[in-house]
Amino acid sequence: MKNFEIIINQRVIDAINCILMAEKGLTKANLAEKLGIKATKFSEILNKRMVAGMDVIQNLCILYSISAEWLILGEGDMYKTANTDDSAHKSDIIEAYKATIEAQQKTIRSLDRQIELLEDRLNEENLGGGKTATMTG
């Protein structure tokens, strides 16, 4: 994958995650179908093993008012701002971003705790007679 493809694909993933958070009850399988792709391809895109094609980008722009300029160039807002009367929609987007950030922070805290526990285990094993440190799950 080329660098610009990776960057654009990350924006596609960000847009998809925002859509999933903002639209209650929308599943990944439903969204894949709406975007016109199979669930397996959708999963590959989300897992960064495949880049989204122009068909997916076009459908995101048309169906969900995602800005093509933002997706491709990284400029402007994620959502098209054709209506100045869409403050409720923006509020949903903000809430989705907040939920995403909170989930990521929770994951980071959990990983930090795991690192601390592993470091403690290594220190205990190294102090306990110079044995070779081995980790088991």
Section 90-119 average pLDDT:
84
The confidence score (pLDDT) of residue 4 equals 82
Share the mean pLDDT of the chain. 85
- One DSSP character per residue, 25-40 reads T--HHHHHHHHTS-HH
Half-sphere exposure for 109 (CA within 13 Å, toward CB): 6
Flag whether 32 is in a domain: yes
Flag whether 132 is in a domain: no
Residue from 2, 37, 35, 3 nearest 16 by CA: 35
* pTM of the entire predicted model: 0.58
pLDDT tens digits for range 44-101: 999 999 999 999 999 999 999 999 999 999 888 998 875 545 566 677 777 777 777 8
Section 126-135 average pLDDT:
62
**H helical segments located in the chain:** 3-22, 28-35, 39-46, 54-64, 68-73, 87-127
Flag whether 18 is in a domain: yes
Q: How many domains does the chain have?
A: 1
Flag whether 114 is in a domain: yes
Report how far Cα 77 is from the mean position of its chain's Cα atoms. 17
Range of the domain at 38: 3-127
The confidence score (pLDDT) of residue 44 equals 95
Instruction: Categorize the per-residue pLDDT at 106 as very low, low, confident or very high, splitting at 50, 70 and 90.
Output: confident
Which CATH number does the domain housing residue 101 bear?
1.10.260.40
Residue reference for tokens 């989300």: 46
